[in-house]
């Protein structure tokens, strides 16, 4: 999510969720997509049933034992950031050592949905490449050790998603028409993205834009795109990206189906895309469920003062934990009083930690934290946080254990994504 839009009055974009490591390379390019699906943003299913735990889960419980846990195939091998003032990508291994540096003119570290890393660390780190949108060039660019090249000129770019460590992306372009805002979704391998046609068009009279969240895939072969709708061009005191519904576009049939209705906001997928976290559209508590059985969702009740709701959910690689953010107060009032709390729970609903933003300020060298959120898990028991102080561009990454212990500073920079073995 574009995490600076509470200052810049620009829509945010999220995290996606981290997906699988060891994702096999595409054995062959996917079929050329020539048909175009046109559909409207109209819900067809009734509101989701509500399943609320019998008792509030206010008591902290210890995390389950992990000594015997196997290493998840979805565990990252590193991560990449954009350090201030932007324009450069640094790739780190899990020891927090820089293993690659790439030039990225026009890329700024406030939006992971503007970049996608292709390549595995099992290969030479020098072979890693990153596709990204450049505000300066108004184009999708590719950066690698040999330099920067243009993949495709883009008019009004609006977010991308990719298959982890695989050179395959989906992205949206926007244009205004007499009928409303048109979103055009294109997908393809990086080698062919310059000529990839729009496979779906959504025209919305209320200026809602189509935002790709994740690509469903099978052994590296793209099968479908999960997307949501977001009011485009709004500003204000926005804590969580106002996503409206969740749909799935099948890349074989070009047919879309509804996963979450218009009253619901998707928050994050598990790395293996078997779990989904979501909230009610307006300041609701965090809910989670198996993607195949949304009606079985459990609710994680809000803290008493979390009047701004919940969002930014990320699952651990083994699906044992979920972390999310809750907010209270206002950022743009005459006397700003916004505060955030990072909460961690098991996916069975037991709260294991609650970390207020005040506990983070000293670690990033600021008197206060104006923004903090979970961005992913480095392994099954190490949560990665991003925090920002009064100087928005001076972001920093921190780590913490599921029980709230071990909170520590890692590296400077805005989080952009993970690298996989």
The answer to whether residue 174 is domain-embedded is yes
Q: Say what the pLDDT of residue 23 is.
A: 34
Its pTM stands at: 0.84
The answer to whether residue 62 is domain-embedded is no
Q: Say what the pLDDT of residue 219 is.
A: 80
The answer to whether residue 102 is domain-embedded is yes
CATH number for the domain spanning 414: value is: 2.130.10.10
Q: Say what the pLDDT of residue 148 is.
A: 97
Q: Say what the pLDDT of residue 70 is.
A: 56
Residue whose pair of structure tokens reads 């906001």 in the numeric block: 265
The answer to whether residue 60 is domain-embedded is no
d(CA 229, CA 208): 6
In the chain, how many domains are there? 1
The answer to whether residue 47 is domain-embedded is no
Q: Say what the pLDDT of residue 71 is.
A: 60
The answer to whether residue 126 is domain-embedded is yes
The answer to whether residue 277 is domain-embedded is yes
Within 10 angstroms of residue 365's Cβ, the number of other Cβ atoms is 10
The answer to whether residue 38 is domain-embedded is no
pLDDT averaged over consecutive 10-residue blocks of the chain (421 residues)? 40 35 33 42 36 35 48 86 94 95 91 94 84 95 95 95 96 96 97 96 95 93 96 89 96 96 96 96 93 96 97 97 97 90 98 96 88 97 95 92 98 95 88
Domain span at 229: 5-26+74-419
């Amino acid at each position: 999510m574009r995490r600076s839009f509470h200052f810049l009055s620009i829509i945010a974009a999220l995290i996606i969720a981290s997906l699988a490591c060891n994702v096999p390379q595409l054995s062959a390019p996917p079929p050329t997509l020539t048909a175009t699906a046109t559909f409207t943003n109209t819900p067809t299913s009734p509101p989701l049933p509500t399943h609320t735990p019998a008792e509030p889960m206010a008591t902290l419980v210890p995390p389950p034992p992990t000594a015997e846990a196997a290493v998840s195939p979805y565990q990252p091998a590193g991560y990449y950031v954009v350090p201030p003032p932007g324009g450069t990508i640094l790739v780190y291994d899990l020891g927090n050592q820089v293993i690659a540096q790439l030039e990225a003119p026009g890329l700024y570290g406030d939006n992971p949905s503007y970049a996608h890393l292709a390549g595995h660390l099992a290969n030479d780190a020098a072979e890693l490449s990153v596709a990204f949108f450049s505000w300066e060039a108004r184009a999708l660019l590719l950066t690698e050790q040999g330099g920067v090249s243009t993949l495709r000129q883009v008019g009004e770019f609006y977010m991308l998603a990719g298959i982890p460590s695989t050179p395959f992306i989906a992205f949206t372009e926007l244009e205004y028409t007499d009928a409303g805002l048109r979103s055009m979704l294109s997908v393809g391998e990086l080698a062919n993205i310059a000529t990839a046609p729009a496979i779906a068009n959504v025209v919305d009279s209320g200026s809602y834009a189509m935002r790709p969240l994740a690509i469903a895939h099978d052994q590296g072969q793209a099968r479908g795109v999960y997307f949501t709708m977001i009011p485009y061009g709004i500003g204000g005191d926005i804590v969580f990206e106002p996503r409206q519904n969740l749909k799935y576009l099948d890349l074989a049939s070009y047919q879309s189906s509804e996963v979450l209705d218009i009253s619901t906001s998707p928050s994050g997928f598990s790395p293996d895309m078997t779990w989904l976290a979501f909230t009610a559209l307006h300041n609701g508590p965090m809910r989670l469920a198996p993607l195949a059985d949304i009606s079985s969702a459990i609710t994680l009740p809000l803290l008493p003062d979390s009047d701004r709701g919940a969002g930014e959910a990320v699952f651990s690689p083994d699906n044992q934990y979920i972390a999310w953010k809750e907010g209270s107060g206002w950022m743009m009032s005459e006397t700003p009083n916004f505060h955030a709390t990072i909460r961690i729970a098991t996916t069975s609903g037991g709260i294991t930690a609650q970390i207020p933003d005040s506990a983070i300020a000293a670690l990033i060298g600021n008197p206060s934290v104006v923004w903090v959120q979970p961005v992913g898990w480095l392994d099954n028991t190490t949560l990665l946080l991003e925090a920002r102080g009064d100087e928005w561009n001076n972001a920093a990454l921190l780590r913490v254990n599921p029980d709230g212990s071990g909170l520590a500073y890692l590296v400077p920079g805005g989080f952009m994504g993970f690298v996989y073995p």
